[in-house]
A and B are shown apart, each in its own frame.
Chain A
Amino acid sequence: NAGVTQTPKFRVLKTGQSMTLLCAQDMNHEYMYWYRQDPGMGLRLIHYSVGEGTTAKGEVPDGYNVSRLKKQNFLLGLESAAPSQTSVYFCASSYPSQFKTRPTDYDQPQHFGDGTRLSIL
């Protein structure tokens, strides 16, 4: 049981290049999240998804796009990378589908991947 898996783990880009970060979870979770972590700032939510085919903006969505075509995957795209996007990116998931109601527990990120360290030169 892998939990939440992020690929790649490290990447260096040049300004203006594009790339996609992949997040995969095998826990049948409905909710998935993308965060960025910067020194001294904690985690900030970029985008999130409450289910297959749905996405929504978080606190810092500018410069990023996301897609949730399959329930188990949540992709984060950078169309034109900028040095300000140098960060560590974390994916998280929560809310097992077997719950018929929506318990308050599961609005919060429960399981995190190990992160993707992205540097943009």
Chain B
Amino acid sequence: AQSVTQPDIHITVSEGASLELRCNYSYGATPYLFWYVQSPGQGLQLLLKYFSGDTLVQGIKGFEAEFKRSQSSFNLRKPSVHWSDAAEYFCAVGNTGGFKTIFGAGTRLFVKA
């Protein structure tokens, strides 16, 4: 069965510290992978996506993610977190033609001063 697991329900990091949010997936075909961010009271915003090619993907707002096929992972990273990064982050997996994007349950990021 296809699934996306975000093991951490919430994470707290200090402003200026590095960040890594974990995402593991189970998908029968070659996956397309996505990270979205949701600020309170708003819809989701696409941070980055991986379809093929270079396994290190750069996104907006200084985020990057690395696809590791052997580990079925697509972890999101940022070298230095800003207070404005506090939000909920969703990993998603899908493929073309099926409109079957599956979202993880999300990881809420708290940033402390």
Contacts and interface: CB of A to CB of B under 8 A. Distances in A.
Interface of A: 4, 33, 40-45, 48, 56, 58-59, 90, 92, 104-105, 107-115
A36 B79 CA distance: 32
A114 B99 contact: no
16 contacts: A33-B99, A42-B4, A42-B104, A44-B103, A56-B99, A92-B44, A104-B32, A105-B51, A107-B95, A107-B96, A108-B46, A109-B101, A111-B43, A112-B42, A114-B42, A115-B41
Interface string B84-113: 000000101011111111111110000000
Given A56-B99, A104-B96, A90 B43 contact: yes
B45 interface: yes
Chain B contact residues: helix, strand, loop or mixed: loop
Interface in B23-74: 32, 34, 41-46, 49, 51
B42 A45 contact: no
Contacts, number: 61
Contacts of A44: 103
A42 B105 contact: yes
B44 A108 contact: no
Residue from B49, B92, B99, B105 whose CB has the most chain A CB atoms within 10 Å: B99
Nearest to A42: B103
A55 to B, nearest CB: 12
B100 to A, nearest CB: 8
